[in-house]
Amino acid sequence: MTPRMPKGLGYQGRKLWKTINDEFELDCEPAKQRILFDACKMADAIDRLDKEADKAPLVAKGSYGQPVLHPAFSGAQTARAALAALLARLNLAEPDGDD
């Protein structure tokens, strides 16, 4: 049985929730469901940051007027690292591939 998708997820979050739950059985593992929910929210945040970065210049002015990477880019980079860490914490086994 697939766990019910939580409310409040955007497109990328819903897509990740469905993909993981279609491949792995997490219905009896509430801790992993929570980690997956957090990963889905992070996927949505990355999507928003990427959309913002698409509209923004690569370089912005820092607090002292120095050129710095636009915050949307660095935020997306940090969010991707957090998403990878959350997915790793799920400790999901590789699919068999013998289907």
Tens digit of pLDDT for each residue in 56-67?
999 999 999 999
Mean pLDDT of 38-47: 98
Q: How far apart are CA 87 and CA 99, in angstroms?
A: 24
**pTM here?**
0.84
Identify which has the larger pLDDT, 70 or 93. Answer: 70
Taking alpha carbons only, the member of 7, 12, 86, 78 closest to residue 43 is: 12
Residue 3: its pLDDT value, please? 78
Residue 17: its pLDDT value, please? 96
Q: How far apart are CA 56 and CA 13, in angstroms?
A: 23
Q: How far apart are CA 24 and CA 3, in angstroms?
A: 11
Which residue type occupies 85? Answer: A
Mean pLDDT of 81-92: 95
Mean pLDDT of 56-83: 94
Burial of 15 by CB count in 10 Å (0-12 exposed, 13-18 middle, 19+ buried)? middle
Residue 83: its pLDDT value, please? 98
